Amino acid sequence: MPDQNNRSPMPRELGYSMPAEWAPHRATWLSWPHNLETWPVQLERVREAWVQMILALSPHEKVYLLVNDDPMRQDVTLRLKTAGAVIENVRLIQIPTIDVWMRDYGPTFVVRNGPDGPLAFNDWIFNGWGGKYKAYEQDDQVTKSIAELLGVPAFVHALVLEGGAIEVNGAGICLTTEQCLLNKNRNPHLGRAELEQFLRDSLGVSQIIWLGEGVAGDDTDGHIDDIARFVDATTIVCAVEEDPKDANYAPLQENLERLQGARDALGSRFDLVTLPSPRPVLYQECRLPASYANFYIANEVVLVPVFDDPGDQKALGVLGELFPSRKAVGIRCTDVVAGLGAIHCVTQQEPLISVQGLTISSSRTYS
């Protein structure tokens, strides 16, 4: 990390913090799927899932969708108009990408109260999930392109981190996993204490809760967004597996036990709600990281991955009860998860800022 006597200020020092996902959004950021290496036979069905996400989101907030070139822009525009999206709320932006994992390589927004510069974001290093996919490291440039477009400050960090590895409640708590953040393929020069301090400083949190391992088939080394998620400041929904013979049973039970022992800053327990796991989803005999915990909380809707599984309706019911003011919308992800991710992995929220009682646009350089 930079020398403490000669370094740029961190977000927390300037009053910034990362809002909870359920805080009001101005926009959701997505990238259009195009990579045939990710989806060699599923790509058209995956694109239909993107259309369904945009149909659900566009009545309630802006959608900013990255496309590679003008032919892709024209194709996507036709698809969305044909499907009936609220097209005036959708903007297609020509920023080339290798793939769609906006949560991991895109900006992680932070906000502060005050009249001067209320919005900024963190730009940490994306190294293809621990150097597994060299070509994907090119998507590290996407956040810099978005910074130029928005004209808002970016905190550029010399540290590897993906947005799917962190989960905040907007009230000072961050969830993460040892399997990912302590993995030597990210930041081998940093220990637990140093990583905790970095999370405090970059996210504006005060407490870190560590879980253990992620779900089977997860090439991200255990991202938190397949395991446990905040649904309000004091409630955590946690994925569990009921079959003791399943590979996910023991690690998910251990994570649940850690959460049962966790306390907030005032020493209070969190309210825990369990979320079922779908039956194993396979592609070419390989286990995929299918998890209902990979949902996305947007304005007035919660997008929930479903897998043609008997557990789909139970998961939709659990999340519908947890978000009574939002509609739980199932998005078919049986094909999407063949790319080793789902809805939360491909979305990134841009907060709607309220300053001194006045709601303002968080980006003044585009509409």
* Residue 321 domain-assigned (yes or no): yes
What's the alpha-carbon Rg for the chain, to the nearest Å?
Answer: 19
d(CA 216, CA 208): 24
Helices (H), the chain: 43-57, 70-83, 102-105, 128-131, 142-150, 178-181, 192-203, 249-261, 312-322, 343-346
pLDDT at 356: 37
Q: How far from the centroid of its chain's Cα atoms is residue 260's Cα?
A: 24
Instruction: Say how many CA atoms lie within 13 Å of 157 toward its Cβ.
Output: 25
* Residue 6 domain-assigned (yes or no): no
- What are 111's two structure tokens? 């906000």
* Residue 3 domain-assigned (yes or no): no
d(CA 291, CA 216): 10
Q: Whose structure tokens read 């009860």?
A: 321
Q: Is 174 a catalytic residue?
A: no
Q: Tell me, what DSSP letter sits at residue 145?
A: H
* Residue 366 domain-assigned (yes or no): no
pTM score, two decimals? Answer: 0.94
DSSP 155-211: EEEEEE--GGG-EE-SSSEEEEEHHHHT-TTT-TT--HHHHHHHHHHHHT-SEEEEE
CATH of the domain at 270: 3.75.10.10
pLDDT at 358: 30
pLDDT at 361: 35
Range of the domain at 35: 11-360
**Taking a C-beta distance cutoff of 8 angstroms, is the pair 275, 292 a contact?**
yes
pLDDT at 6: 60
- Tens digit of pLDDT for each residue in 48-90? 999 999 999 999 999 999 999 999 999 999 999 999 999 999 9
* Residue 2 domain-assigned (yes or no): no
pLDDT at 7: 72
The whole-number mean pLDDT for each consecutive block of 10 residues of the chain, a chain of 367 residues, reads 62 96 97 98 98 98 98 98 97 98 97 75 97 97 95 94 98 98 97 98 98 98 98 98 98 98 94 98 97 98 98 98 98 98 98 53 31
Q: Which of 344, 365, 354, 356 is nearest to 29 (CA)?
A: 344
* Residue 342 domain-assigned (yes or no): yes
pLDDT at 365: 29
Q: Count how many domains the chain has.
A: 1
* Residue 43 domain-assigned (yes or no): yes
* Residue 173 domain-assigned (yes or no): yes
